[in-house]
Structure 1
């Protein structure tokens, strides 16, 4: 089985709408009048969750009206947040058909279908004409892509529609390698090392530069994420588990995978790093 098919299968097990709606009802949400805030506990799978999306959105600084590409959009949480908060239009792509269907369904439920759309596609073969977008970003995606050089080159040609004088923005928020050492699998993005390709930020900078990008900023968000993890752990001990969280879709195996990611973060093996670049 190809890496792409393994990745799609890894996430596709959790792409059903019914358990999510059941959990939302159990949490007291009106599933016929959902908001993006209602979905935030379950549609943000990356380290730092919604807080990280908020910070990333500010760093991206896409202008209102821009059409941007979300590479590896999952069930659409960040895309919906950016559209609602910054007035952009977002096209999201994902390898997992179940996620694409669920992302579309949730987007309709929160009334953003006129500004956010999703389609099944491979980041290494983007199905768009050159210069189709004003900007692009990915969140916790490249850890599943071995050929990151091609990913960045594909993005470069896809994101430069109506490029402003300062250049179109490409943002990356990924788990990156900090130190040499064995990662404790399973992890949220991979059950084994066969589909995990975690690289250091220096490699990203090299690839971006070779593809014609200028690095604007780089930020290690480890301290913020560790604080969020600590606060979540205290809340769990105080209030017990919630019906809403990444485990809602990812299932009972999520606890071990999340704990392993936290362990790798605490051991200094990995870090959630944000890089903002512009097309030269």
Structure 2
């Protein structure tokens, strides 16, 4: 693991995260013995729009029981569990942060699902060539300094005709958000890029763009609701605050300000590898 990757893993790593999630769920009257995937959605979909965004992305791709899926930057496993539970797909999650992978494994076992989770880098994936039908990247590219290498790895592990679904925060204007933001505490681990950078990297390895859209209004509505939920001295016992830490509201404010200024936005891109 490179020094940059170590710093990124440290930014996300939260010791005791599983225990805090279980404690928060208990405060809501949810016991470990009866948890469902839906009970975890407030905390395990760590991206703008949460489960709504995941469903919107999945609606644009062909995914079902026949699909072998790689979720790149899988976090604590929310999208991977959703794809397994709602679509019946065979899912593997890859993430740089050991605490996230361990939490993802334990939560997945707890709710009786089958996705597997592996510690590793999106820029050097520990998988054989042509191993997956679908790859997803949900709010991960902001931590990846080498987009051409990412797309080269995706093209390598996808089978002919495979799909790469991206939902990332991208740079639209000239100014970077103030730090901290949800994905980085300083410039050392923030690698925002313009949509054109993604498109150029895809074109270089033969991935064809089939759909693209910016989700600015969607993002503003989501952050309005999230900020309201974090107001006051008692934030919800289970929510993204568990992942973002004590400065969650500051991270959200900085991001919202930058979205409002037109400098950044969440963007969906769907690519296909020729069959």
Q: TM-score normalised to the size of structure 2? A: 0.94
Query: Is 1:182 matched with 2:176?
Result: yes
Question: 1:221 offset after TM fit, Å?
Answer: 1.2
| Contact 1:14–1:250 under 8 Å retained in 2 | no
CA distance in structure 2 between the aligned counterparts of 1:236 and 1:186, rounded to whole angstroms: 17
Aligned length: 273
Q: 4+ residue stretches of structure 1 with deviation over 3 A? A: 231-238
Q: Which residue does 2:153 correspond to in 1?
A: 154
| Contact 1:69–1:91 under 8 Å retained in 2 | yes
Question: 1:194 offset after TM fit, Å?
Answer: 0.9
Alignment of 1:19-168 (within 5 A): 19-113=20-114, 116-160=115-159, 163=160, 167-168=161-162
Q: Which residue does 1:170 correspond to in 2?
A: 164
For structure 2, the residue ranges without an aligned partner over 5 or more in a row are none
Q: 1:216 to 1:138 in 2, by over 3 A?
A: same
3-state SS in 1 of match to 2:60 = helix
| Contact 1:47–1:225 under 8 Å retained in 2 | yes
Q: 1:44 to 1:14 in 2, by over 3 A?
A: farther
Q: Which residue does 2:263 correspond to in 1?
A: 269
3-state SS in 2 of match to 1:42 = helix
Query: Is 1:260 matched with 2:261?
Result: no
Q: 1:123 to 1:93 in 2, by over 3 A?
A: same
Q: 1:50 to 1:15 in 2, by over 3 A?
A: farther
CA distance in structure 2 between the aligned counterparts of 1:95 and 1:235, rounded to whole angstroms: 29
CA distance in structure 1 between the aligned counterparts of 2:84 and 2:266, rounded to whole angstroms: 23
Question: 1:234 offset after TM fit, Å?
Answer: 4.9
CA distance in structure 2 between the aligned counterparts of 1:105 and 1:235, rounded to whole angstroms: 27
Question: 1:14 offset after TM fit, Å?
Answer: 5.2
Alignment of 1:180-219 (within 5 A): 180-219=174-213
CA distance in structure 1 between the aligned counterparts of 2:148 and 2:55, rounded to whole angstroms: 27
CA distance in structure 2 between the aligned counterparts of 1:216 and 1:112, rounded to whole angstroms: 31
3-state SS in 1 of match to 2:202 = helix
Question: 1:73 offset after TM fit, Å?
Answer: 0.4
Q: 1:234 to 1:145 in 2, by over 3 A?
A: closer
Q: TM-score normalised to the size of structure 1? A: 0.93
Superposed CA RMSD in Å reads 1.8
